[in-house]
Chain A
């Protein structure tokens, strides 16, 4: 974990800064409570590999973004997230999946740094491996994070 943070800080400090995202750019983000790496396929569409970690819970997934007005200081976005979930509770232990539809926005308070917030309904299904008991249902999720963009854009 410490090594990961160190690598992130090195990248944050040493790489050149760019003003706005566009096709071919890469972004790294620190979200609550995890990390992600994002790549822009077009000016409006990007995908992010992300992981979130909490005590005895791991969420690993892929996010797809669509930006309505890229290049503006406050850029509205929407997307879909699919995750694999592993967990260990007080009584249960197992795995599951989560799917979230979200809407939100990114606010650039520096040339290559933005604050992102999105929210939406997430369907989560978990299964206990010992008893085969399972739960499934919708939770409303808010995500916040800080993004740092670098790389050669168009």
Chain B
């Protein structure tokens, strides 16, 4: 707020001048008064932040709960929702996996009370987590039910006409009402992603057109107790090309309000993808623990044993860890601004 004081400009310098004594008295007294009345008069509308119950103080968070049913997806379910496609065998013996994706405009309640006019794959953000095994034949039947041209651009090996970039053929930009089938072999193994590549690219991604693409190695990864997918992104709700909210799996603070339940000693594997638009980097930090990190998941040997990693846009990696102690443990972007704007979650570790 700006006030214009014109001839009164000097006032901003003066106040305490000759009135210093009175001013000092007055500051002191109003301060005392506020401590007396200020504290009890206002009831904090608490987010269900678990730490708050244990005598925690004031914490960032949203009020209320988004309408998951109306949104058509729930981040808690997305966490472990892997789409293996419809499986069949080709005459040459190769496994064929077929996926169906529809591009839809959808109003999504990003934070309670704020509706974001999103563009989605299958009506959800992130889009379905497509999962295949190395060397499988992949067919993704895409139909565009929205009013803009869109595409699917996969990270991985494929032919130029399957690249989903405008100019690369009919799959480069699928017109509204049209369909296209992307087809290629799933390789290399690792954790990848797909997103719309129609221009303006930043807008098409920021509106919600992205998802994870997991290619398991032929021999598989060492078994773990639980696998989860986490896609990090942000939302620019007022369209000023800067994110207003950040999240894993689309809904800010979701896993803060609904901690992920795990057991002591349970082996956890997280497929972590960063598709955050507008900001240069994103990160993941795990509290009271360390994890083995497999960048891009293209090796079965971890590159690092750490508790914090950084990812630029479209970077991704696999995290493996288990907890030794019971309790509430945060995980969040160690770009703390993002954490306080929604990219914050909790693991609740029990016996």
A binds B: no
Chain B contact residues, CB within 8 Å of chain A: none
Chain A contact residues, CB within 8 Å of chain B: none
